[in-house]
Amino acid sequence: MNHDQLFLLKPDFQDRGKTYFCPSCAEIGGLLEFSPALKQRVDVHYVDFPRPRPELAPLLGEENQSCPVLVLKSVPSNLPAHLAVRHANSHAFVEGAREIAEY
């Protein structure tokens, strides 16, 4: 892994015949557009809505397939104490739009 890996749901996904988008994924997408330098520091992957998500399940396990999620290449030592970095399958990750933006 050369960069942190950011996983977002694909925009305009279908579920039971209706079209949806993930507000949290849209928030992170907007952050990346607002700050292009951030986009160069992560590898962005757009995943399908249905579970299991084959891109995420092998990395973080079946129970950790929420999006948005940022899988970290390494954990910096200077993170704020309140920022929740979780671990699964030998990978560290941050979930949720606000948490990822703060990271």
Strand pairing class (42-47; 91-95)? unpaired
68: left (phi over 0), alpha (psi -120 to 50) or beta: beta
Q: Which pLDDT does position 80 carry in this prediction? A: 87
Report which secondary-structure segment, H or E, holds 59.
helix 57-60
pLDDT per residue, tens digit, the chain (103 aa), is: 789 999 999 999 999 999 999 999 999 999 999 999 999 999 999 999 999 999 999 999 999 999 999 999 999 889 888 999 999 999 999 999 999 999 9
- What whole-number distance in Å separates Cα of residue 4 and Cα of residue 92? 10
Q: Which pLDDT does position 2 carry in this prediction? A: 87
